[in-house]
Structure 1
Amino acid sequence: MFKKNKHGIQIKTPEQLDGMRAAGLVVGRTLELLRAAVAPGVTPLDLDVIAEKAIRDEGAVPSFKGYQGYPASICASVNSEVVHGIPGDGRKLREGDIISIDCGAILAGWHGDSAITVPVGEVGPELTELMRVTEEAMWRGIAALRPGAHLSDIGHQIEKYARSQGRYGIPQEYGGHGIGTEMHMDPWVANHGRPGRGPKLEAGMCLAVEPMLNLGTDRTRVLADDWTVVTMDGKASAHFEHSVAVTEQGPWVLTALDGGESRLGTVNRT
């Protein structure tokens, strides 16, 4: 049996959080391999092969593969693809592209889930800034994961930072989620909204925080493959994600190799 609070949100014991951390580290290490592998001429399918081998070599299972029929171990979303891009070998990455890589793994029944957006070679300043703002918005949201804070404080911090940096589109229908014995659990974690709303955060909660920002409109559509989400105006999108545990000491970033220490220290001083 796994404990849930009155809102139906799974609450982990310290020992269970250790299991979550082990799964998170598999994902974190895999994404670092993929970051290093991104280069002009590489295909998204090449990255998928690397990911599946890395995950299985650690005794884990890719959580995306077969999930609601999804055919791959990672999501690989290039340029105007927001999320859920299916990796294939029909196109090679080109200098100046950006690619969002979303990766999940199951280890001993616990899930880890994280995403990064990576430049392919040299990219233009507008794309560099898009990635910077999206990642920083994620960290602003993560910093809100403290006992006694409200769920909506996360999305409020993400939106507040994104709006302060420019006119970025924030897709309203996509966001983060609870995570634990399943990849997607209650609660839904919006990337926008007013603070002080929703359930109070408690030690032992685990949430995936994952902002997506678009260079243009916030409007999106799903392609004919029934998975790939793209921007309506064809402009680029970036996506970052970490799985995070709420603890009495503050957020513990389960999918960051250092637990989030270096970046959270920077956020908390600004």
Structure 2
Amino acid sequence: MATLELLSPAEHSQLKIIRGAYQDPSFAVNLTTVMTSELALLAHEYPIFFYKSARSGQFQLAALLGFASGQNLFLSDGKWTARQVPLDIQRRPFQLHVPDDLATKSGHLAIDPHSPQFSTTHGEALYNQDNSPTPALLHYQSLFSHLLSASEHTRSVLATLVEHDLLEGVELNVALDKGNITLSDLYAVNVKNLNALTGDALKACHDQGVLQVCHLVMSSGSHLEMMIERANAQNTASK
């Protein structure tokens, strides 16, 4: 289990971050959260679905990365094999510790100093000699700043989707060379209800960018075939 520590120059001045290699266990996920601000790019490479967070009970946007828990078909020998990397992947191995009284407005970065993404001998330093953050650390701080601000619009869009009953549960049946896999607990756009929108509801969904989100999510399903090909190729290579 990871042991998280709040990042500070007093404790971690000697740590370096290894960027461009994806070795931390947190990268081995088959689903990663997506913000509406990055959806237009990610929908060109990943199947996008909705899921309900077990922690909050709220709906989230997510990119499907694999068909089994811990399976990431976009990782190969520690390299990311797609052009666009989701922000939730880019920010790892850092996590955000948010005190309850601050809600989602700000927080402190936390790390597992034993992660293979950190080293004291190679990589990019996190702190300068005067304990100020280096460009590498500023990059991650900027990522979290964007994620926090983008999450507000994402939550608003998801709330509108729920309000107008535009989500429906789906069961994904995937036929692989080694056998069939069924994925449940995913949600897709309810096309019937989307097409039935009229009047104020239609205008509200248009003005809030909900219609664009729906169309991007619907079009992203074409990437499932590519993922099946990746899964079959990985299974063949492992034999």
TM bucket by the smaller chain? under 0.3
TM-score (ref. length: structure 2): 0.24
Work out which structure has the larger RCO, using CA pairs closer than 8 Å and 6 or more positions apart in sequence.
2
Tell me which structure has the larger Cα radius of gyration: 2
TM-score (ref. length: structure 1): 0.22
